[in-house]
Amino acid sequence: MPTKSILFVLTCLFCLARSGEATTLHRCEAADGSITFTSMSCSHGERLSKQEVHPYSPGSVVAVMPEANHEKTSGMNIQGREPGIVGVAEHLCGNLIDAKQRREAIINQRVVAGMTQQDVESALGKPDKISIRNSATSYRYDLKRGRSAHVEFDEKGCVKGKAKSQTAKSPR
């Protein structure tokens, strides 16, 4: 008796449609341009085309876009060219130095004309003395071995020129 029930279950399993199997639908296009999808046949006068539909099964991966055909793109004649600059942002201190030069000066602890007060503080740290005269600011740094540096800023807070180094004279 148990063998008959096993055979019955196996027969039922073979009759069930597989989940990965495609279904064919009929695409019917009427003379007025309307389109109908059906599993039945098309009406008289409609143009028939068969469409395979693959049901979605959870966990499967469906490609949304087709893969790129690299053979087509590799043969293209691509010429590199420099990008055109339409507009350049004006720096607070003018464009005396570019961003790369500004970074290099800060890293190397140098002061260059066109740097802001914030740039100088990033390069050398907080000044030992700040003097303000007639809307012009100057920073003084007391360096090692009796040396000092003097940086002058204009009314916009930009370095006027190169930092001046001074050596303190030792008493004899």
Q: Percentage of the chain with pLDDT > 70?
A: 62
Q: Which pLDDT tens digit goes with each residue over 29-81?
A: 998 988 888 888 888 889 888 888 777 667 766 666 667 665 555 555 666 67
* Paired tokens of 58: 């959870």
In the prediction, which pLDDT does 107 show? 92
Average pLDDT for 100-110: 89
Query: Which tokens is 100 given?
Result: 């790369």
More confident residue, 129 or 96: 129
| Verdict on whether the full-model pTM lies above 0.85 | no
Least confident of 24-28, 98-102, 146-150: 146-150
With contact defined as beta carbons under 8 Å apart, do 160 and 150 qualify?
A: no
170 pLDDT higher than 70 = no
Query: Rg of the chain over CA atoms, in angstroms?
Result: 40
- pLDDT at position 23 is 78
pLDDT value of position 99:
83
DSSP state of 60: -
- How many Cβ atoms sit within 10 Å of the Cβ of residue 105? 20
Split at pLDDT 50, 70, 90, the class of 8 is low
pLDDT at 171 over 50: no
* 129-133 vs 47-53, strand pairing mode: unpaired
Alpha carbon of residue 165 to chain centroid = 44
Largest CA distance in the chain: 123
- Check if the beta carbon of residue 55 is closer than 8 Å to that of residue 41: no
Which stretches does DSSP call E strand in 30-171?
A: 35-38, 47-53, 129-133, 136-142, 147-153, 164-167
Span 88-92, mean pLDDT? 66
In this prediction, residue 74 carries a pLDDT of 54
Distance CA 19, CA 112 (A): 73
> Nearest Cα to 27, choosing from 42, 10, 12?
42
